[in-house]
Structure 1
């Protein structure tokens, strides 16, 4: 649920049930998270309305937790492709299949200095037609195409995942080059820079 608040800060004032639904968690879990974030000073009230504060610090903590706890359990499969550039011309196809691009491929949209060597896709289930069409072969090891389960339910507004997740994906990669690009998009991207000002 921290991801939802960081990606859509205006949702902080929404009713608990709506926050739970957006984050794909139970009402009890949502209440516990709100309580924890309030105690830690990341959520506070103004005129009876919840607001997000110290969001840059929360982004640091969430990205670290994503890397160690959440990312490892999201895998829907690792694949190998001889060419991953097809995704750039596939916005309509990806949107139709409700698949979003994350990781360094998505980062290359925000930062043209980055030439991605991997592709990360987020979907509710393994996109078999996409895998078949683009000849993605199951990888014995890590592969260069990673398919992950989408863990939020906020209405998809773009074929690229929110910058919050792009940033966390880059940090979680463990690749110094990707971490450097994570720093660059955090400083230059409006949405991430805005979190550091909250």
Structure 2
């Protein structure tokens, strides 16, 4: 399990913001999957180091998480996986390159002997998913859950109440010591973010 940080811009609703993204690689010395191929396809292929790329997994389709996906797919032959509810956002960035595979809630993908289970967590985006790896005690949360609380809402295709429901019902039910590996910033633990959510709702929203 490796993290590559790449830099670029997030663009939506006419705005543009500089961002650093976590690109996650899960695998062994022979094969891997890439989670959220952001900004720099050359840096990602270098990090792969000749390993076979089995799949490109997108936690959601905001441009800063998918902008290198078509080029990475073309370079490696690996299919791009996305939840179908996020195709409306995908088309804003890649109108002529549809994702090749659908991620569906409860589906499992195996690489290097570990299983990644798809958890649909709408709210930040309608097709947002997290990827839970029980064998590693880890969940990759994209922009659904961060160190310090829930992901952003208030932009197109997002909804605060839906996001909070996803986190409470789908993520905080995981073991408390599960490592939360987000799309930006530092890691945290499920139990720490459960406390953060309790504090968030202890006073007026």
TM-score range, shorter chain: under 0.3
* Structure in which a larger fraction of residues adopt helix: 1
TM-score between the two structures when normalised by the length of structure 1: 0.27
User: Which structure has the larger Rg?
Assistant: 1
TM-score between the two structures when normalised by the length of structure 2: 0.27
* Structure in which a larger fraction of residues adopt strand: 2
RCO higher in structure (CA 8 A, sep ≥6): 1
